[in-house]
Amino acid sequence: MSEPILQVKNLGMRFGGIKALDELDLDVNSGEIVALIGPNGAGKTTFFNCVTGIYNPTQGDVTLSPPESPVIRLNGLKPNQVAEKGMARTFQNIRLFQKMTVLENVMIGRHCRTHSFIFGAILRNKSTRLEEQETIEKSYQILQKMGLEKQANDLASNLSYGAQRRLEIGRALATEPFLLLLDEPAAGMNPQETQELIKLINRLQQEGQSILLIEHDMKLVMELSHRIFVMDYGRRIAMGTPEEIRNNPMVIKAYLGESADA
């Protein structure tokens, strides 16, 4: 594993007097699956929001080093710029475009990789047509990968819960990210759906996709991740391989409280 592609240094986020994130360090290497865990309210989603530009962090640095291009500082960029630089995310509470079809949802993900605008849309010249065609093709391929191609023309709101989660991942993949952020992808899934999700994430990793995920499902985390970061009260309390984390007394304390007999 070479240079980290995402490097977060000393990240802090304050909401008034509350320190939601406090001097947090984190890094993701290329091709790696990294998990971020922690009890409820530890600041994991705030961390995602800071990294993807939805919040502007009050302190610290977030830098992205895409393969074969210079380092990009992400602080202060807008969410759409972050997506353009190559980092896409999913949301904890599913945020699909409910009244659009499944295929269209993925096509939206292609937006930042395509360029046609008003005149292209009206004149529908050759380059626009080719672009549209490519958008449809690529989106369809992503749907096939997610196992959703049969529902391509259904409304997103008509999908089952697990399928909606997969569609969200597909939509994020359509932006061609080199780092994929998944916010609790297994939340609300039944064991079988979780098993399928594990397979899916594994397959993505084998294709070279780097992934940073937040998850509460310990089975998924332990099975998938190469490294785990543990947060509590906005601070990083531990970092290491799944085995190290499993036996870390700090982590056990954060999750189970003081009497760490288990």
Partner 1 sequence: MISLKESKRSALVSLWFMFLTFPIMVIKVDAIEKTVIWRWDNMFYVGFGSFILSIFGRIFFERQKHRRERKLAEKINKHNLIQIVLREPKYLYPLATAFFLFAVTFPHLFSTYQINVMTTALMYVVLGLGLNIVVGVAGLLDLGYVAFYAVGAYSYALLNFHFGMTFWMVLPLGALLAALFGVLLGFPVLRLRGDYLAIVTLAFGEIIRLVMENWNAFSQGPSGISNIPRPGLFGFDLTLDQAITYLYYLMILMVLITIFVVNRLQNSRLGRAWVALREDEIACQAMGIDKTKTKLTAFALGATWAGLVGVIFAAKTTFINPASFTFLESAIILAIVVLGGMGSILGVIIGAIILILLPEYLRALSDYRMLAFGAIMVSMMVFRPQGIISNVRRHYQYRPQKGEQE
Note the residues at the interface with partner 1 (CB under 8 A). 52, 54, 78-80, 83-84, 88-89, 91, 95-101, 103-104, 107-109, 111-114, 116-118, 120-122, 124, 128, 131-137, 140, 152-153, 155, 171-172, 174-175
Q: Which is nearer to partner 1, 80 or 202 (CB)?
A: 80
Helices (H) and strands (E) in the chain, counts: 10, 10
User: Which amino acid, one-letter code, is at 210?
Assistant: S
Per the CB < 8 A criterion, the answer to whether 20 and 234 are in contact is yes
Question: Cβ 206 to partner 1, closest distance in Å?
Answer: 24
Q: Which is nearer to partner 1, 94 or 239 (CB)?
A: 94
Question: Cβ 124 to partner 1, closest distance in Å?
Answer: 6
Q: Write phi, then psi, for 21 (nearest 5 degrees).
A: -130, 140
Question: Cβ 123 to partner 1, closest distance in Å?
Answer: 8
Sequence-distant (6+) residues with CB within 8 A of 189 are 161, 162, 165, 197
Question: What is the H or E stretch that residue 174 is in?
Answer: none
Q: Which is nearer to partner 1, 128 or 205 (CB)?
A: 128
- Ordered DSSP codes for 62-123: EEE--TTS--EE-TT--HHHHHHHTEEE--SS----TTSBHHHHHHHHGGGG----HHHHHH
Q: Which is nearer to partner 1, 125 or 241 (CB)?
A: 125
Question: Cβ 160 to partner 1, closest distance in Å?
Answer: 15
Distances (CA, A) of 78 to 23, 34, 56, 90: 22, 24, 9, 16
Per the CB < 8 A criterion, the answer to whether 64 and 71 are in contact is yes
Question: Cβ 172 to partner 1, closest distance in Å?
Answer: 8
Question: Cβ 252 to partner 1, closest distance in Å?
Answer: 34
Q: Which is nearer to partner 1, 11 or 87 (CB)?
A: 87
Question: Cβ 209 to partner 1, closest distance in Å?
Answer: 17
Q: Which is nearer to partner 1, 173 or 230 (CB)?
A: 173
Q: Which is nearer to partner 1, 73 or 95 (CB)?
A: 95
CA–CA dist 258, 157 (Å, integer) = 44
Relative orientation angle of helices 126-146 and 102-109, to the nearest 10 degrees = 110
Among 223, 175, 233, 226, which residue's Cα sits nearest to residue 197? 223
- At 214, list the tokens: 């937040």
- At 28, list the tokens: 């993701």
Can you tell me which residue has the tokens 């710029």?
A: 81
